[in-house]
């Protein structure tokens, strides 16, 4: 390159021109696949169409179609433009050279129905420059376009497996394999990481035969390897979706030409009906599907059979994840003991549910933590959905002889006078160095936590071991359940919150499946 700040790179589809900003090169909205529109709706991703000349990639591209979040807490500061043409990625890199830096490949969360790789919280300059790494963030198909299984109900006329969103993620990894060296990255040292549905996606990629060899380390955050619909559940969701639309499964032309606004309306109605006794599908009706091929089995079972052997994992959760969802449910504050038991029996259909509640009550009393029915419900939901799957993944990799490292994030949000506690998604601003005053908190302690997280994530991406100067030695998860607590201080502890963890031993498969 003739100019050190020139940001033109040749990809397999053509040249792209990004921006040079304060020591980093930023490329926004590079197409990694062809637009999945028209006849390509609900099909696997296809290669991007080549172009002549130099394509400007200086602004973020459109995001996947999605309904706005139910709560303003989860809403972006400014809505991003949406379009079914959404398969784009963004790259942040310190240099366009042959340095072969570690590559961090980010999969955003949002319940498989919302979010984007261009959200401001994921802006990658800080972690890229601090760690001398290349960061890739992606969009992928969401909701009904990415996770609706239509092949069975349409007799194969629309061959959607319900895993098109996962296939998009894998296809973007293939693009990284073929192109990232030109952006200063090492295609042989790729770490996939993601949060919430992004973490669950990481767990799915660990189980997918088609993703094997495309990444070398994995960091699932607040989501592990226990989220996928059974074939029966996914078919039921598809039938209810068609019923809402009033379209016959044989009318594939109508489905392919359906306006995006109508699809989004039906998707919203599906989420409502799914949790009613009449339909009994459960929360998150649109999520990855065990289809026997792309996702052969529940991810944790595939991993137990060796699908992720040799891939080090850094996995963890946040202490009070469910408090973010709890503030959206006013009924939790007035929950009675009887209602607590009924709710827990609904989400945990087998095992000694009453004994589980009592175990949580006693453990929290011992620590001086609140034991109201609402607090107990949020603690149980936090562990069922996030902490126990993370522990199970760490244990499974340990048993397979592959290193796993465990963390628990405990920093509390200042928002809503502290009512959110150490809630879901709180770690994101610290990880990307985009923490702010209202939700995350700022100040010297916040800056130190952010530096610690960035340094350990980068160390893991570089070597497969998160130990570094910031938190010190971080041993792999073992019989003593070694866990790094990330909060106002970052300290290594053994078996944190062990009484609650032990209580789940009597609850079979409680963490599998849905919210």
pLDDT in tens, 290-324: 999 999 999 999 999 999 999 999 999 999 999 99
Separation of alpha carbons 377 and 267, rounded Å? 28
Which tokens belong to 218? Answer: 């994995």
Q: Are 111 and 196 in contact (CB under 8 A)?
A: yes
Q: What is the CATH number of domain 8-304?
A: 3.40.50.1820
Which residue is it, tokens 């979706």?
241
* Active-site residue (options: 424, 440, 470, 482): 424
What is the pLDDT at residue 511?
Answer: 56
For the segment(s) 313-506, the CATH number from 3.40.50.1820, 2.40.10.480, 3.10.450.50, 3.40.50.720 is 3.40.50.1820
pLDDT of 512 above 60? no
SS3 230: coil
Read off φ and ψ for residue 19, nearest 5 degrees. Answer: -120, 155
Q: Are 150 and 263 in contact (CB under 8 A)?
A: no
Residues 6+ apart with CB under 8 A from 23: 94, 129
Residue 34: pLDDT band with limits 50, 70, 90: very high
The DSSP secondary-structure symbol of 63 reads B
Separation of alpha carbons 405 and 462, rounded Å? 15
* Active-site residue (options: 152, 321, 482, 500): 321
pLDDT of 4 above 90? no
Separation of alpha carbons 397 and 310, rounded Å? 9
Domain ranges of the chain: 8-304, 313-506
Q: Are 336 and 344 in contact (CB under 8 A)?
A: no
No. of helices (H) and no. of strands (E), the chain: 16, 14
- Of 424, 407, 405, 369, whose CA–CA distance to 490 is shortest? 407
Entry pTM: 0.97
Question: How high is the mean pLDDT of the chain?
Answer: 95
Q: Are 180 and 187 in contact (CB under 8 A)?
A: yes
C-alpha pair distances (Å), 204 with each of 7, 80, 198, 300: 34, 27, 10, 8
Domains 8-304 and 313-506 share a fold: yes
Strands of the sheet with 217-221, listed across from one edge: 19-21, 24-31, 88-93, 134-138, 101-107, 185-195, 217-221, 313-318, 404-409, 482-486, 490-494
Separation of alpha carbons 196 and 107, rounded Å? 9
What is the pLDDT at residue 354?
Answer: 96
Separation of alpha carbons 80 and 216, rounded Å? 32
What is the pLDDT at residue 76?
Answer: 62
Which residue is it, tokens 């709706």?
41
pLDDT in tens, 351-400: 999 999 999 999 999 999 999 999 999 999 999 999 999 999 999 999 99
pLDDT in tens, 59-81: 999 999 999 887 656 556 667 89
Separation of alpha carbons 224 and 387, rounded Å? 9
Neighbours of 255 (CB within 10 A): 23
What is the pLDDT at residue 3?
Answer: 47
pLDDT in tens, 113-138: 999 999 999 999 999 999 999 999 99
Residues 6+ apart with CB under 8 A from 430: 411, 440, 446, 449, 450, 453
What is the pLDDT at residue 20?
Answer: 95
Q: Which neighbouring-strand residues pair with 91? A: 27, 136
Which tokens belong to 122? Answer: 């994921």
pLDDT of 338 above 50? yes
pLDDT of 478 above 50? yes
* 226 given a catalytic annotation: no
Residue 2: pLDDT band with limits 50, 70, 90: very low
* Active-site residue (options: 116, 164, 195, 196): 196
* 498 given a catalytic annotation: no
C-alpha pair distances (Å), 418 with each of 75, 185, 371, 411, 450: 19, 41, 17, 11, 20
What distance lies between CA 121 and its chain's CA centroid? 14
* 195 given a catalytic annotation: no
The DSSP secondary-structure symbol of 331 reads G
Please tell me the number of Cα atoms within 13 Å of 397 on its side-chain side. 30
């Amino acid at each position: 390159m003739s100019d050190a700040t020139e940001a033109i790179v040749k990809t397999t589809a053509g040249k792209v021109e990004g921006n040079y900003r304060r020591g980093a090169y930023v490329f926004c909205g590079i197409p990694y696949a062809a637009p999945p529109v028209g006849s390509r709706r609900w099909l696997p991703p296809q290669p991007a169409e080549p172009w002549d000349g130099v394509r400007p990639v200086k602004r973020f591209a459109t995001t996947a179609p999605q309904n706005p979040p139910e709560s303003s807490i989860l809403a972006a500061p400014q809505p991003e433009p949406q379009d079914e043409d959404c398969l784009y990625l963004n790259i942040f890199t310190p240099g366009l050279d042959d340095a072969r830096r570690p590559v961090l490949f980010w999969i955003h969360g949002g319940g498989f129905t919302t979010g984007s790789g261009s959200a401001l919280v994921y802006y990658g300059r800080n972690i890229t420059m601090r760690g001398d790494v290349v960061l890739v963030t992606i969009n992928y198909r969401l909701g009904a376009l990415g996770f609706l299984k239509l092949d069975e109900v349409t007799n194969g006329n629309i061959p959607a497996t319900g895993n098109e969103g996962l296939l998009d993620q894998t296809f973007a990894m293939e693009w990284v394999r073929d192109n990232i060296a030109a952006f200063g990255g090492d295609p042989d040292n790729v770490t996939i990481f993601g949060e919430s549905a992004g973490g669950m996606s990481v767990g799915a990629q660990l189980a997918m035969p088609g993703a094997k060899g495309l990444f070398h380390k994995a960091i699932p955050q607040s989501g592990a390897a226990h989220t996928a619909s059974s074939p029966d559940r996914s078919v039921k969701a598809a039938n209810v979706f068609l019923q809402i639309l009033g379209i016959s499964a044989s009318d594939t032309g109508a489905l392919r030409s359906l306006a995006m606004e109508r699809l989004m309306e039906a998707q919203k109605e599906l989420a409502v009906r799914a949790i009613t006794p009449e339909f009994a599908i459960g929360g998150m009706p649109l999520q990855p599907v065990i289809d026997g091929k792309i996702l052969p089995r529940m991810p944790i079972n595939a991993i137990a059979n060796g699908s992720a052997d040799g891939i080090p994992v850094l996995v963890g959760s946040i202490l009070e994840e469910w408090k973010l969802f709890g503030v959206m449910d006013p009924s939790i504050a007035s929950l009675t003991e009887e209602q607590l038991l009924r709710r827990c029996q609904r989400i945990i259909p087998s095992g000694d549910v009453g004994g589980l509640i009592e175990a949580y009550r006693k453990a929290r009393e011992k620590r001086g933590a609140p034991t109201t029915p609402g607090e107990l419900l949020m603690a149980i939901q936090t562990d069922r959905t996030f902490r126990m799957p993370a522990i199970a993944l760490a244990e499974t990799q340990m048993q397979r002889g592959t290193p796993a490292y465990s963390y628990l994030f405990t920093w509390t949000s200042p928002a809503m006078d502290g009512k959110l506690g150490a809630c879901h998604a709180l770690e994101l601003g610290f990880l990307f160095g985009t923490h702010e005053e209202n939700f995350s908190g700022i100040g010297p302690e916040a800056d130190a936590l952010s530096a610690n997280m960035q340094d350990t994530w980068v160390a893991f991406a570089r070597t497969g071991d998160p130990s570094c100067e910031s938190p010190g030695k971080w041993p792999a998860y073992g019989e003593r359940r070694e866990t790094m607590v990330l909060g106002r201080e970052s300290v290594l502890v053994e078996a944190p919150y062990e009484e609650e963890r032990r209580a789940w031993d009597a609850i079979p498969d409680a963490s599998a499946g849905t919210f």
